[in-house]
């Protein structure tokens, strides 16, 4: 049979067969012809589409959805019109219509990545499992569209999200959002080296990415690179147009660096004719904290010319710091009940009358009647009730409040009542729920240090608090008090002395510093520090501690 086939084709037939095989092979290797482009929008559909986009630009989403629905009806073969329609329907609070539009689009255009991306966006909050599936389909169809990766990473568990973001930056190296989100994930995992590398790559691509620059500074600070952290934060401050929140972050970093001169220079920079009322109020508060009361009064006087009530309250707080409590209370009580600042004014007035707990309760009563759920008002009232010996009434009051802030306030109140064990139970539960709650970490660490209990846990809490709240004198005070309890008297003196430099009008920090000096073998310096604390006219309980330490020091001499 083989011989018969060969003789049938002959040499020329063999050549023809080989040529045919080559032609077929080339056909198999040839790139398939590109898909035909979609036909252009008909004039009517284009007009409706433009109407819809203009309405969306005005954020008139119902009109946008209506116009795009007409565009979709006039151009049923255009997947992107359907996608835009679904997005407008979602913004117009027509979720069922949006879901129906996308469901039909997924059936009609299963190979169109934008349909699956829009489906993921529309379902992310309502049905995350579906959104995850659809984002993954969008990535499969269009591996270089960063939006699907970013949407997917938001819904995944941290380890999966990290992997998704790593895939994104590998596929799209210039993705600023992808690298920024990846850096944030690494920072949360305490992989600071990798986070810093990614933050730097974000800034290479977008030097004005303020959040990335601030996050880079925070990561550097956590690595102990305080000098560069300050430089990056200062750069963020300049690039943000001297934004107030960035300025305050820079201020506390300068405090952490123990650079009081630079901190004052920053406040001077913020205090100019361009400053708004919020900036002036912040400058006055920070000047007051530094003990620079004359400068703080000058800022408050300028503020009062723009906003009389805010200026009055800022000045009242300065008067309290100066020991002029009666004047401060009178000034704050002059704010009428019709004012938007009435609640704040009553808080300030209560601080002015802090030496008389019954007076505090009376001052706060009208504000509490107007706003019974206000946690700060309830807390101040509860403290005063405890001072009057009405602890049960104070606890009942705090139990009426709900939320994490109320629980934290209750911990403070029960600690003030002497029940430190209950306070620790409450605040440690808060820390388990939110490990980065700086105030809770500081309170837990301070209570344990003050009671000389579980000092290793206290140190762990306060280290974290110092990382989260650099330069905060309250946290420095807790850290110094812990060091004293641990017998590290020289370090305690250094830390508490720095806290005093940045909060010289806080009598409790001065008392802690005096105790540290006494433990370090410097009784005369301790006594001089106690005199400074007493001159600030502290509350009765703190004055008793001052008197007790004085007596103990006198017995040593």
pLDDT for residue 351 is more than 60: yes
CA pair distance 172, 553, nearest whole angstrom: 69
Task: State the average pLDDT over residues 140-145.
Answer: 95
Provide the pLDDT for residue 9: 37
Residues near 28 by beta carbon (within 8 Å), at least 6 away in sequence: none
Q: Does 513 map to a domain?
A: yes
Provide the pLDDT for residue 130: 93
CA pair distance 286, 321, nearest whole angstrom: 12
pLDDT tier, 4 (very low <50, low <70, confident <90, very high otherwise) = very low
pLDDT tens per residue across span 143-172: 999 999 999 999 999 999 999 999 999 999
CA distances 145 to 85, 114, 139, 141, 175, Å, are 20, 9, 7, 9, 10
pLDDT tens per residue across span 25-70: 444 445 445 545 556 777 888 899 999 999 999 999 999 999 999 9
Concatenating the DSSP letter of every residue in 449-508 gives HHTT--HHHHHHHHHHHHHHSTT-HHHHHHHHHHHHHTT-HHHHHHHHHHHHHH-TT-HH
Q: Which of 238, 193, 200 is nearest to 216 (CA)?
A: 200
Q: Does 496 map to a domain?
A: yes
The percent of residues above 70 in pLDDT, for the chain, comes to 92
| CATH code for the domain in which residue 540 is found | 1.25.40.10
Q: Find tokens 């539009």 and name the residue.
A: 101
Provide the pLDDT for residue 238: 95
Query: How would you class 62 by CB atoms within 10 Å of its CB: exposed for 0-12, middle for 13-18, buried for 19 or more?
Result: middle
Contact 448, 420 (CB under 8 A): no
291 dihedral zone (left: phi>0; alpha: psi -120 to 50; beta): left
Contact 290, 504 (CB under 8 A): yes
CA distances 34 to 30, 373, 494, Å, are 12, 66, 74
* Structural domain boundaries enclosing 484: 469-556
pLDDT for residue 22 is more than 60: no
Q: Which of 391, 396, 387 is nearest to 360 (CA)?
A: 387
CA triplet 18, 24, 25: central angle to 5 degrees?
90
pLDDT tens per residue across span 289-330: 999 999 999 999 999 999 999 999 999 999 999 989 999 999
pLDDT tens per residue across span 412-463: 999 999 999 999 999 999 999 999 999 999 999 999 999 999 999 999 999 9
Provide the pLDDT for residue 33: 52
Number of structural domains in the chain: 2
Q: Which residues of 312-335 are buried (b: 16+ CB within 10 A; e: fewer)?
A: bbbbbbbbbbbebbeebbebbbeb
Distance of CA 445 to the CA centre of its chain: 22
Provide the pLDDT for residue 16: 38
pLDDT tens per residue across span 487-538: 999 999 999 999 999 999 999 999 999 999 999 999 999 999 999 999 988 8
The tokens of 277 are what?
């009322």
Q: Which residues of 346-384 are buried (b: 16+ CB within 10 A; e: fewer)?
A: bbbbbbbbbeebebbbebbeebbeeeeebbbbbbbbbbb
Provide the pLDDT for residue 337: 92
Provide the pLDDT for residue 28: 46
- Between 118-127, 171-180, 438-447, the lowest mean confidence (pLDDT) is in 118-127
Q: Which of 322, 349, 371 is the last residue of a domain?
A: 322
pTM of the model: 0.83
Provide the pLDDT for residue 55: 93
CA pair distance 498, 475, nearest whole angstrom: 11
Q: Does 487 map to a domain?
A: yes
pLDDT for residue 355 is more than 80: no
Q: Does 435 map to a domain?
A: no
Provide the pLDDT for residue 3: 38
pLDDT tens per residue across span 204-232: 999 999 999 999 999 999 998 999 999 99
Mean pLDDT of the chain: 90
Q: Which of 288, 305, 322 is the last residue of a domain?
A: 322
Q: Does 213 map to a domain?
A: no
Distance of CA 268 to the CA centre of its chain: 26
Q: Does 406 map to a domain?
A: no
Q: Does 494 map to a domain?
A: yes
pLDDT tier, 383 (very low <50, low <70, confident <90, very high otherwise) = very high
pLDDT tens per residue across span 83-106: 999 999 999 999 999 999 999 999
The percent of residues above 90 in pLDDT, for the chain, comes to 82
Task: State the average pLDDT over residues 118-140.
Answer: 93
Give the H/E segment covering residue 300.
Answer: helix 293-306
Provide the pLDDT for residue 125: 86
Provide the pLDDT for residue 557: 66
pLDDT tier, 275 (very low <50, low <70, confident <90, very high otherwise) = confident
pLDDT for residue 261 is more than 60: yes
Provide the pLDDT for residue 332: 95
Provide the pLDDT for residue 6: 34
Q: Which of 289, 322, 355 is the last residue of a domain?
A: 322
Q: Does 473 map to a domain?
A: yes
**Would you tell me how many other CB atoms lie within 10 Å of the CB of residue 340?**
9
């Amino acid at each position: 049979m083989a011989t018969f086939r060969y003789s049938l084709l002959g040499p020329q037939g063999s050549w023809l067969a080989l040529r045919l095989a080559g032609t077929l092979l080339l056909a198999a290797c040839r790139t398939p012809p590109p898909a035909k482009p979609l036909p252009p929008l008909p004039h009517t559909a284009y007009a409706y589409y433009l109407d819809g986009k203009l309405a969306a630009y005005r954020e008139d989403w119902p009109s946008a959805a209506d116009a795009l629905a007409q565009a979709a009806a006039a151009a049923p073969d255009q997947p992107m019109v359907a996608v835009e329609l679904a997005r407008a329907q979602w913004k117009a609070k027509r979720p069922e219509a949006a879901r129906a539009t996308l469901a039909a689009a997924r059936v009609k255009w299963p190979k169109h990545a934008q349909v699956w991306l829009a489906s993921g966006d529309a379902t992310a909050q309502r049905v995350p499992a579906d959104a995850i599936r659809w984002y993954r389909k969008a990535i499969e169809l269009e591996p270089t569209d960063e939006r699907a990766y970013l949407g997917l990473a938001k819904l995944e568990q941290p380890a999966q999200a990290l992997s998704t973001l790593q895939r994104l930056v590998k596929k799209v190296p210039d993705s600023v959002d992808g690298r920024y989100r990846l850096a944030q994930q690494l920072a949360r995992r305490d992989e600071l080296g990798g986070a810093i590398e990614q933050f730097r790559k974000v800034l290479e691509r977008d030097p004005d990415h303020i959040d990335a620059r601030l996050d880079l500074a925070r990561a550097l600070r956590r690595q102990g690179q305080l000098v560069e952290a300050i430089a990056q934060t200062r750069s963020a401050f300049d690039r943000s147009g001297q934004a107030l929140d960035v300025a305050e972050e820079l201020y506390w970093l300068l405090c952490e660096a123990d650079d009081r001169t630079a901190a004052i220079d920053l406040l001077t920079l913020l205090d100019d004719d361009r400053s708004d009322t919020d900036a002036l109020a912040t400058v006055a508060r920070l000047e007051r904290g530094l003990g620079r009361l004359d400068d703080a009064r000058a800022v408050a006087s300028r503020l009062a010319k723009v906003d009389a009530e805010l200026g009055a309250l800022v000045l009242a707080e300065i008067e309290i710091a100066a020991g002029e409590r009666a004047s401060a209370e009178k000034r704050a009580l002059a704010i009428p009940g019709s004012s938007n600042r009435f609640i704040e004014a009553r808080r300030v007035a209560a601080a002015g009358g802090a030496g008389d707990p019954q007076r505090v309760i009376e001052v706060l009563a009208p504000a509490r009647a107007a706003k019974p759920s206000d946690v700060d008002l309830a807390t101040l009232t509860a403290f005063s009730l405890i001072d009057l010996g009405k602890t049960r009434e104070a606890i009942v009051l705090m139990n009426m409040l709900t939320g994490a802030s109320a629980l934290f306030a209750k911990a403070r109140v029960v600690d003030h009542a002497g029940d430190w064990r209950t306070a620790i139970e409450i605040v440690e539960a808060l820390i388990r729920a939110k490990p980065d709650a700086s105030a809770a970490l500081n309170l837990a660490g301070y209570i344990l240090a003050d009671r000389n209990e579980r000092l290793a846990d206290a140190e762990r809490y306060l280290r974290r608090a110092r990382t989260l709240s650099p330069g905060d004198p309250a946290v420095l005070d807790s850290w110094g008090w812990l060091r004293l309890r641990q017998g590290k008297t020289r370090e305690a003196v250094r830390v508490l002395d720095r806290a005093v430099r940045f909060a010289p009008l806080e009598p409790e920090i001065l008392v802690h510093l005096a105790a540290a000096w006494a433990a370090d073998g410097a009784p005369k310096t301790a006594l001089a520090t106690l005199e400074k604390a007493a001159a600030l006219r502290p509350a009765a309980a703190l004055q008793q501690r001052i008197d007790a330490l004085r007596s103990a020091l006198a017995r040593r001499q």
